[in-house]
Amino acid sequence: MRITMIGSGYVGLVSGACFADFGHDVICFDKDEAKITALHEGRIPIFEPGLDHLVASNVAAGRLSFTTQAADALADPDAIFIAVGTPSRRGDGHADLSYVYGAAAEIAPFLKRFTVVVDKSTVPVGTGDEVERIIRETNPDADFAVISNPEFLREGAAIDDFKRPDRVVIGGDDRRALDVMRQIYRPLVIGRSPVIEMSRRGAELTKYAGNAFLATKITFINEIADLCEKVGADVHEVARGIGLDNRIGAKFLHPGPGFGGSCFPKDTLALLKTAQDYEAPQRIVETVVAVNDSRKRAMGRKVIQAMGGEVRGKTIAVLGLTFKQNTDDMRDSPAIAIIETLQDAGAEIHAHDPEGMEQAKLVLRDVTYFGNAYDTMAGADALVFITEWDAFRALDLARIKSLLKTPVMIDLRNLYPRDLVEDAGFSYTAVGR
């Protein structure tokens, strides 16, 4: 199949490279000339494990290409995937659909034969209807169908998620379009990945409902962690005890400083705005958003308390800045609110992240960055873990103690066993333990 990806960001590039690896002919279109130039030169604009090799191998095989020219990208595709950003709109939290609607208008004049237009972006209920209207008004003679095909990719594991998904959701009722989508995803069907067909609006809502539920699980276990600290229980024991129940499941029950990233914060807000528009309040999700927002600052105060209640003039070493490991994404990272809380209290921040420091520099001020974990700790009054990078899981505790002014460790990801750290002579603070 001939596939065009509109947008060469995280979703568009990963999806395009994976489709090409299935054997489809894929062209990724983006108006960002610097991004396309980088891709032509073999440079990947985002960090995602394995993506550089996947892109390079499919470019070499002639199945994957990149362009800034709409005429080249839209010459004769069987399917056009809209994979542009839908950030939260400033001021009201609604998803900003201007890029989606702009893509629809740009696509319309090029439709010469039956073409499937696929909403891959995360969009509110009813967006597919508007995309269809825009195309039809722009090109009344166009023969096309609009399908919703939401992505369920985890940053840091996106390639595996795409190739071995829990499910593929396809929303639409046009038989020709569904046949095209089945051919596109046929390699996954052979691998026994379930492909679920439903209404277009159902598919749009499935994406938001799924992310909201996962955000709820995270927020739930974080609040249980707070209770565990008060009653003398270990949240990991509680999480295992409930997670072995198949009705609950063990995933997303790891406590921490709150969720961030490109999906959960904006998608929960967008779901709430859609619910308001349709007068169907989502009270649970409202609470999840409020609790998660307040938790990030609360984790900053937790660090201050662990340091005796006063951090003015002190230096704090922070390991981990991105919202999760295996990404360079700083969007809504808990580290931002935590560091700003510590800075507001007068602390100086030394920080290191394996991949996220360049992005961190765009959103954090007055932070001193270091090239490795140990240099970050030298002369600091305390060490704080914020992101659960594997590189931080087995550091030399004796060396850490020798570098710090005072042996204080605040472990917001519970990377280390309490007895191991305390036996090494540290004051240790964790989450829910």
The single-letter DSSP state of residue 89 is P
- In percent, the amount of the chain with pLDDT more than 90 equals 97
Same-domain status, 187 and 142: yes
* pLDDT tens, position by position, 154-183: 999 999 999 999 999 999 999 999 999 999
Catalytic residue among 18, 28, 228, 263: 263
Residue 157 lies in a domain: yes
Helix count and strand count (H, E) for the chain: 18, 14
Per-residue pLDDT at 219: 98
In this structure, the answer to whether residues 136 and 261 fall within a common structural domain is no
* pLDDT at residue 304 in the model: 98
Question: Predicted confidence band at 193 (pLDDT cuts at 50, 70, 90)?
Answer: confident
Element (H, E) at 239: helix 235-243
Task: Decide if pLDDT at 192 tops 90.
Answer: no
Q: Are residues 257 and 321 in the same domain?
A: no
Asked if residue 189 has pLDDT above 90, the reply is no
In sequence order, what DSSP letters do the residues of 110-164 get, joined into one string? G--S-EEEEE-S---TTHHHHHHHHHHHH-TT--EEEEE----PPTTSHHHHHHS
Name which of 165, 152, 287 is nearest 215 in CA terms: 287
Give the number of other CB atoms < 10 A from CB of residue 210: 17
Domain shared by 93 and 148, yes or no:
yes
CA distance 220 to 286: 13
Q: Is the pLDDT of residue 269 over 90?
A: yes
* 351 within a domain of the structure (yes/no): yes
Specify the residue for token string 């990149």: 66
- Say if 203 falls within a structural domain: no
Average pLDDT over residues 353-373: 97
Integer distance in angstroms from the first to the last C-alpha of the chain? 53
What is the mean pLDDT of the segment spanning 82-95? 86
Comparing C-alpha atoms, which of 70, 62, 58, 7 is closest to residue 35?
Answer: 7
319 in a domain, yes or no? yes
From residue 134, give the alpha-carbon distance in Å to each of 101, 230, 263, 395. 7, 56, 26, 55
Same domain, 215 and 272: yes
For residue 263, what are the contacts with CB-CB under 8 A and spacing of at least 6?
A: 122, 211
Res 94 pLDDT > 90: no
263 is catalytic: yes
Mean pLDDT of 175-203: 94
* Domain end among 256, 289, 322: 289
Q: Are residues 269 and 327 in the same domain?
A: no
Query: Mean pLDDT, to the nearest integer, of 223-229?
Result: 98
Distance CA 95, CA 274 (A): 9
Residues 269 and 356 placed together within one structural domain of the fold: no
Whether residues 282 and 349 share a domain: the answer is no
The residue among 289, 315, 332 that closes a domain is: 289
Mean pLDDT of the chain: 96
Considering the domain architecture, whether residues 83 and 17 belong to the same structural domain is answered as yes
Domain containing residue 67: CATH number: 3.40.50.720
272-279, Cβ contacts within 8 angstroms, sequence gap of 24 or more: 272/93, 273/92, 273/93, 273/94, 273/95, 273/124, 274/124, 274/125, 274/208, 278/125
Q: Of 155, 179, 198, which marks where a domain is finished?
A: 198
Of all residues in the chain, the percent with pLDDT exceeding 70 is 100
Structure tokens of 407? 């042996």
Are 45 and 182 in the same domain?
yes
Q: Based on the fold, state whether residues 142 and 174 are members of the same structural domain.
A: yes
391 belongs to a structural domain? yes
Q: What value does the mean pLDDT take over residues 206-213?
A: 97
Q: Which of 82-91, 111-120, 193-202, 415-424 has the lowest mean pLDDT?
A: 82-91
CATH number, residue 220: 1.10.1040.10
Read off the pTM.
0.93
Asked if residue 92 has pLDDT above 80, the reply is no
Residue 105, domain member (yes or no): yes
Q: Are residues 125 and 55 in the same domain?
A: yes
Residue 366 belongs to a domain = yes
Range of the domain at 262: 208-289
Domain count for the chain, please give it: 3
Whether residue 261 is contained in a domain is answered as yes
